[in-house]
């Protein structure tokens, strides 16, 4: 059974963690590369973008769609909005930290 209290929080945290991981890897990788971008750089960017869209789609939409299919429209909407809300709060906190100059 779906735990509506914890799963949206978990999904929002996983989305933020995924973004942190990708940004960290990209930041770390560019520190050691003094080569100019090749024609493969745009391919890598689009590949990461596409993969990220699939991951975020899974985290934000998969369970609400399952709830919709099960005929639980209100639960589906609530689940999606709760997940989006958690992710939005994390994004606001990160924005405050970045623009305050703490990091």
Residue spans of the domains in the chain: they are: 57-103
- Say if CB 82 and CB 8 are below 8 A apart: yes
Q: What is the mean pLDDT of residues 71-77?
A: 96
For range 77-87, the mean pLDDT: 95
Q: How confident is the model at residue 4, as a pLDDT?
A: 55
Token reading at 54: 């699939």
pLDDT of res. 102: 78
**Model confidence over 3-15: pLDDT tens digits?**
555 799 999 999 9
Supply the pTM of this predicted model.
0.80
Reported as a single tens digit per residue, the pLDDT across 1-56 is 455 557 999 999 999 999 999 999 888 887 877 777 788 888 988 999 999 999 99
pLDDT band for position 78 (cuts 50, 70, 90):
very high
Q: How far apart are CA 15 and CA 9, in angstroms?
A: 10
CA dihedral 95, 77, 9, 65 (to 10 degrees): -110
The alpha-helical segments, DSSP class H, found in 32-101 are 40-57, 63-69, 73-100
């Amino acid at each position: 059974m779906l735990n509506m209290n914890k799963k949206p929080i978990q999904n929002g945290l996983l989305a933020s963690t995924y973004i942190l991981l990708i940004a960290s890897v990209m930041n770390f990788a560019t520190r050691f590369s003094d080569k100019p971008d090749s024609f493969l750089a745009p391919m890598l960017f689009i590949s990461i973008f596409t993969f990220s869209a699939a991951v975020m789609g899974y985290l934000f939409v998969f369970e609400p769609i399952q709830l919709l299919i099960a005929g639980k429209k209100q639960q589906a909407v609530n689940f999606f909005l709760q997940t989006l809300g958690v992710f939005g709060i994390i994004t606001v906190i990160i924005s405050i930290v970045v623009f305050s100059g703490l990091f």
